[in-house]
């Protein structure tokens, strides 16, 4: 038996013994997506975490995802498969700037992309993910929207809701932000029949060249439902596993060598096993900021019905 097969067997055994469930984001490696109980985008995983009967959650993703699961399930034990898997964007907010904007506009709603630390979530009225951001901002009565941390997602929403006035923050995802429009145009020349699907964390000039913009799940669903046979994918390459699994007869191309999130790739089967063996620290969120962060996350779930 190979070492990997042995680890997988041990994971399955311990999962039963410990009444645990494994949640994984589409950006983690194929070997983890294969053994996870649920794989999804960040909204699906946050929502799913609340519906589960298991007492122990092992999260394969980045820190803000594990923290959101813990905030939404304070009585459950949550482990990260890798404690150092951080989303770089999650810290890109200057709280003094938020304070200053809040003092400037009376009717302001502070909307926080879920890719943020607990501290940053705690200053928001509501959290959103890339799959529900437009719908949620559209439901808010406020005209002025301070959107943190992601500037690209903010511009994408603002374009669809011209009646709102956005105040932007300078955060971005170093992975999506680095996929250039020029690279996409080159790929389009090479594969002229391909449809182009992108994540809204990409830059606005690139999104303008695309046929569809959506969350990781929405990209996968769109490609699956489409009659097209060839696609250019502008998001992290982890999605290729599910895209190909659901669509064995279709062809998917990356447009850049930069479509890799090193933090997502820190998750390993060994890390999952160690979490189940109790060798990892539990996810603990800052008690001071947890109640307000929970309110913002609950408000997202409430507005999505
Ligand atoms: P999704 O919400 O589409 O899963 O995206 C999360 C993320 O980190 C994108 O970079
Ligand atoms: Fe964060 Fe970007 Fe990685 Fe997504 S791809 S987890 S936004 S660093």
Residue 304 phi/psi, 5-degree rounding, is -90, 0
Protein residue with its CA nearest to atom 7 in ligand 2: 173
Ligand 1 geometric centre to CA of 221 (Å): 15
- pLDDT higher than 90, residue 194: yes
Q: pLDDT tens, 36-52? A: 999 999 999 999 999 99
| Ligand 2 binding residues, C-beta < 6 A | 62, 87-89, 115, 173, 175-176, 201, 236, 261, 263-264
2: confidence class by pLDDT, cuts 50, 70, 90: confident
Are 250 and 223 within 8 A, CB to CB?
yes
Q: Which of 36, 201, 222 to mutate to test the pocket of ligand 1 (most atoms within 8 A of CB)?
A: 201
Q: Counting atoms of ligand 1 from 1, which one is nearest the CA of 62?
A: 8
The DSSP result for 67-92, as a single string, is HHHHHH-TTSEEEES-TT---GGGG-
Percent of the chain with pLDDT over 90: 98
Are 90 and 120 within 8 A, CB to CB?
yes
Per the listing, tokens 């429009």 go with 181
Protein residue with its CA nearest to atom 5 in ligand 2: 261
- pLDDT in the model for residue 208: 98
Ligand 1 geometric centre to CA of 65 (Å): 10
Q: Counting atoms of ligand 1 from 1, which one is nearest the CA of 41?
A: 4
- pLDDT in the model for residue 256: 98
Which is it for strands 195-198 and 230-234: parallel, antiparallel or unpaired?
parallel
Ligand 2 geometric centre to CA of 150 (Å): 11
Please give the sequence-ordered ranges of beta strands (E in DSSP) within the chain, or none if there are none: 20-25, 38-40, 56-60, 77-80, 108-113, 126-128, 144-148, 165-167, 195-198, 212-213, 230-234, 251-254
Ligand 2 geometric centre to CA of 175 (Å): 7
Statement: the pTM of the whole predicted model exceeds 0.95: yes
Helix axes 269-276, 3-17, angle to 10 degrees: 30
- pLDDT in the model for residue 197: 98
Protein residue with its CA nearest to atom 3 in ligand 2: 261
Q: pLDDT tens, 210-244? A: 999 999 999 999 999 999 999 999 999 999 999 99
Ligand 2 geometric centre to CA of 115 (Å): 8
Ligand 2 geometric centre to CA of 178 (Å): 12
Q: Which of 23, 26, 27, 239 to mutate to test the pocket of ligand 1 (most atoms within 8 A of CB)?
A: 27
- pLDDT higher than 90, residue 305: no
Residue 249 is given by DSSP the state: T
């Amino acid at each position: 038996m190979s070492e990997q097969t042995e680890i997988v067997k041990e994971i399955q055994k311990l999962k039963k013994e410990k009444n645990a469930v494994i949640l994984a984001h589409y950006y983690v490696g194929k070997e983890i997506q294969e053994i996870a109980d649920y794989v999804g985008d960040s909204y699906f995983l946050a929502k799913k975490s609340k519906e589960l009967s298991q007492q122990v959650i092992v999260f394969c993703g980045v820190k803000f995802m594990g923290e959101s699961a813990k905030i939404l399930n304070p009585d459950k034990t949550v482990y990260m498969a890798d404690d150092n898997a951080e989303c770089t964007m999650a810290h890109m907010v200057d709280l003094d700037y938020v304070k200053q904007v809040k003092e400037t506009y009376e009717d302001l709603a502070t909307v926080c992309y879920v890719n943020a630390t607990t501290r940053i979530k705690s200053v928001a009225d509501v959290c959103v993910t890339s799959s529900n951001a437009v719908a949620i901002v559209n439901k808010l009565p406020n005209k002025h929207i301070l959107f943190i941390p992601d500037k690209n997602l903010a511009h994408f929403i603002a374009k669809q809701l011209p009646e709102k006035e956005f105040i932007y923050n300078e955060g971005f995802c170093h992975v999506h932000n680095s996929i250039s429009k020029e690279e996409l145009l080159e790929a389009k020349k090479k594969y002229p029949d391909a449809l182009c699907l992108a994540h809204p964390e990409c830059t606005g000039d690139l999104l303008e060249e695309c046929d569809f913009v959506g969350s990781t799940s929405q990209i996968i669903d769109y490609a699956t439902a489409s009659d097209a046979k060839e696609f250019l994918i502008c998001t992290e390459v982890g999605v290729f596993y599910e895209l190909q699994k659901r669509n064995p007869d279709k062809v998917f191309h990356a447009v850049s060598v930069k479509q890799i999130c090193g933090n997502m790739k820190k998750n390993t089967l060994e890390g999952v096993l160690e979490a189940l063996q109790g060798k990892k620290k539990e996810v603990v969120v800052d008690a001071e900021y947890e109640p307000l962060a929970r309110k913002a996350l609950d408000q997202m779930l409430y507005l999505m019905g």
